[in-house]
Copies of this chain bind each other. A is one copy, B any other.
Amino acid sequence: MEQNQLRNKQGLTEEEFLAQYKPSDYPRPSVTVDMLLFTIENNALKLLLIRRKNHPYMHCWALPGGFVGIEESIEQAVYRELAEETNLTQDVYFEQLYTFGEVNRDPRMRVITCAYISLTPSSNIKNTRAGDDAEDAAWFTVELVEAYQNQQENCYELTLCNAEKNLRLKYTVKEKAEGMRKVYDIAVNPASGGKLAFDHAHSIHMALQRMKNKVNYTPIAFCLVPKQFTLGQLQKVYEVLLGEKLDRANFRKAVRHMVRQVGQGTAQGSRRQAMLFEYNPLGHTD
């Protein structure tokens, strides 16, 4: 029998069922999106933050975000947020990071937040502005460096830095194994000049880990350079995401099969001119 002619226990077809269906009025959580917009500039990873205008976490720096409307998909909400803060609509890569659903994340009410990573080359960014709920917006240099390791735990230091505003936010990240999962204890460092709103330090740390993992086996690095780039630029992206220097010769051998040479000799500031390349999804087409 056709699906739409089946009758349920009450004798209703699907059409009849949907016509009489009334969503229960159990209280529902609010759903929001957070956006982690990264770019790379001056050999450093940059993240866009906004400064909150109101309670809670008033005057704290936070990830841009907002509510998911009842008639827009989660991704549409992320696009909307992005447009509100940056005007960007093109050449931005999106990837869902994680959905945060703890009960008391927001002191106002129950909020479930779906965080997205966005990547774009810095050449693509024209101007950023603070949205309605923000009194400021700024790019922060993000760094995650290892502090120490031992049998019980690995410890890292997460730093967000904006030189113009003389801001330096610091977090201590302790990683422990709990069964098969890794658990992270993330706390404001006493030396920090302020704290991030909500659990946003968690999101940022998770994003850094994700990108570090993915850069080696997916082409995300190409989302952080212009369409045409030199291998030197590309290597810088890898180095920033991995947090270590790479050998130039070995790096070139490793990426050769992912790029296609498209031109020669365009300068990039000074020194010897470098050849230009494009990302080559098919690979092996030298």
Q: Which residue of the partner chain, among B8, B70, B73, contacts A54 with CB atoms under 8 Å?
A: B8
* Beta-carbon contact of A74 and B112 below 8 Å: yes
The answer to whether B180 and A112 have CB atoms under 8 Å apart is no
A279 to B177, CA, bound (A): 13
Chain B residues positioned under 8 Å from A68 (CB to CB): 29, 101, 112
Q: Which residues of B contact A79 (CB under 8 A)?
A: none
Asked if A98 is at the interface (CB within 8 A of a chain B CB), the reply is yes
A119 to chain B, nearest CB (A): 9
Residues of B within 8 A of A98 (CB): 96
Q: Which chain B residue shows the least CB distance to A216?
A: B217
Across-interface contacts of A262 in B (CB, < 8 A): none
Per-residue CB contact flags for chain A residues 81-113 toward chain B (1 = under 8 Å, else 0) read 000000000000110101101110001111010
Q: Are B180 and A223 in contact (CB under 8 A)?
A: yes
Min CB gap A260→B, angstroms: 15
Q: Measured between alpha carbons, how far is A107 from B25 in the docked complex, in Å?
A: 17
Least CB distance, A182 to chain B, in whole angstroms: 10
Size bracket of the A interface? 35 or more
Instruction: Decide if A181 touches B70 in the complex (CB within 8 Å).
Output: no
| Residue in B13, B17, B30 whose beta carbon sits within 8 Å of that of A28 in the complex | B30
Q: Mark A26-51, 1 if CB is under 8 A from B, else 0.
A: 11111100000000000000000000
B28–A70 contact, CB under 8 A? yes
Given the interface pairs A18-B56, A58-B3, A220-B180, the reply to whether A31 lies near B103 with Cβ below 8 Å is no
Tell me whether A185 is interfacial, beta carbon within 8 Å.
Answer: no
Does A219 belong to the interface (CB within 8 Å)? yes
User: Complex: how many Å from CA A60 to CA B3?
Assistant: 9
23 pairs from A and B in contact (CB 8 Å cutoff): A3-B57, A6-B58, A8-B58, A17-B55, A17-B56, A23-B30, A23-B109, A26-B69, A27-B70, A28-B28, A28-B31, A29-B70, A68-B112, A74-B99, A74-B101, A75-B101, A93-B181, A94-B181, A99-B99, A101-B114, A112-B112, A112-B114, A177-B281
User: Residues of A with Cβ closer than 8 Å to B?
Assistant: 3, 6, 8-9, 12-14, 17-18, 21, 23, 26-31, 53-60, 67-75, 93-94, 96, 98-99, 101-103, 107-110, 112, 114, 151, 177, 179-181, 219-220, 222-223, 279, 281-282
